[in-house]
Amino acid sequence: MISALLAERMAYIKASKIRELLKITERPEVISFAGGLPAPELFPIQALADLTSRLILDEGYKALQYSTTEGYRPLREKIAMRMEKVFKTRVAADEIIITSGSQQALDFIGKVLINPEDEVFLESPSYLGAINAFRAYEPKFVEVETDDEGMIPEALEAALKQAKHPKFIYIIPDFQNPTGRTWSLERRKALIGLASKYGVLVVEDNPYGELRYEGEILPAVKSLDTEGWVVYLGSFSKTLCPGMRIGWIAAHRTLLEKFVLIKQGADLHTSTFSQMLINRYIETQDFDAHIRKLCQVYRLRRDAIIRAMERYFPGGVRCNHPKGGLFTWVMLPEGMDGTELLKEALSKNVAFVPGASFFPCTPKKNTLRLNFSNMPEDRIEQGIMRLADAIVSLQ
């Protein structure tokens, strides 16, 4: 039997039942809040088409060739400049490695840091893709209680005190996937204090931070770190396009060297072509203006989903009001089950992801994640009306 030959770790890596259920969302009559896709009509197609042909003609000999594992130097320099400008975070270009999306960085973090049974602390709930990437390395997940301002420091400290092999704290402090929540500055500072006190790393995953629709961008947790505890993950997936697969890790040099070794075994380097194309895009186009445009469109979509939820959802259903990002989070009355609701919702041609999947240890079944970036406002409203109907018929 082939299955008897699989590595033991494959026992932890399973296809999700929810994914099976969500396959029907490909049908055009289904309004899906399930994905996490940016709006494709906002990809700068013409600029990228022009830059692509110029890149191939001018520098194709380089763009189509193998390149260094660390990544294309001019792009690493631009990323370092942007991290300082937007998130007040000073890193040198050689403290950055380009990865094939930040998803690859999550896998590398597991590979470089996790021994079986090491404690990995995460927000309750957290990003499913990170949970699955880490799970292959057999950690012990510790869910830390979280409110609208981030992890509760007392809960985190209690968990750190109890841990046998505390390794790192994984957080998404800006417009979290799945809840849309953002950490306050005080909580960011408290986190750094605890990381330093207990000698654990912080993995700060920040793909959504630039997509802010109200208020001021907060400094990254990494900017508050003077001792090198924070491993920062960035990505162009939501600010430009995910298909190019360009993300990065900014970390202390000791760790960076290890990521380079691991990347050599994984894929040698990230696509030279994608890196050079994004570098040219930033060099020749107004990236800030592009992000302002994304924020304008997504803000309207965020407003539309909040308005529709307030208008159509029955009493007792609570929803989050995200200040940015692509998601909002819904809490159904106690006793209702998001997975049951999904079945009912699919019969009404509307879809979402039940929240239970985002809790590695103790699922809160009465929760849902809704994405609002991928469709126009009228479709959002229609989808929320259908979802409200599904909630009412389960009550």
Q: Minimum distance from CB of 87 to ligand PMP (Å)?
A: 16
174 belongs to the binding site for ligand PMP (CB under 6 A): no
Query: In the window 227-246, what residues touch ligand PMP (CB under 6 A)?
Result: 235, 237, 242
371 belongs to the binding site for ligand PMP (CB under 6 A): no
Q: Minimum distance from CB of 234 to ligand PMP (Å)?
A: 8
Edge-to-edge strand list for the sheet holding 327-331: 318-319, 327-331, 367-371, 353-354
* CB nearer to ligand PMP: pick between 80 and 240: 240
177 belongs to the binding site for ligand PMP (CB under 6 A): yes
Query: In the window 109-138, what residues touch ligand PMP (CB under 6 A)?
Result: 127, 129
322 belongs to the binding site for ligand PMP (CB under 6 A): no
101 belongs to the binding site for ligand PMP (CB under 6 A): yes
Query: In the window 196-215, what residues touch ligand PMP (CB under 6 A)?
Result: 205, 207
Q: Minimum distance from CB of 37 to ligand PMP (Å)?
A: 9
103 belongs to the binding site for ligand PMP (CB under 6 A): yes
Binding region for ligand PMP (CB under 6 A) out of 42-50, 96-104, 272-280, 339-347? 96-104
CB 145 within 8 A of CB 181: no
38 belongs to the binding site for ligand PMP (CB under 6 A): no
Q: Minimum distance from CB of 181 to ligand PMP (Å)?
A: 12
* CB nearer to ligand PMP: pick between 101 and 360: 101
| # binding residues, ligand PMP (CB under 6 A) | 14
Q: Minimum distance from CB of 253 to ligand PMP (Å)?
A: 23
Binding site for ligand PMP (CB under 6 A): 36, 101-103, 127, 129, 172, 177, 205, 207, 235, 237, 242, 247
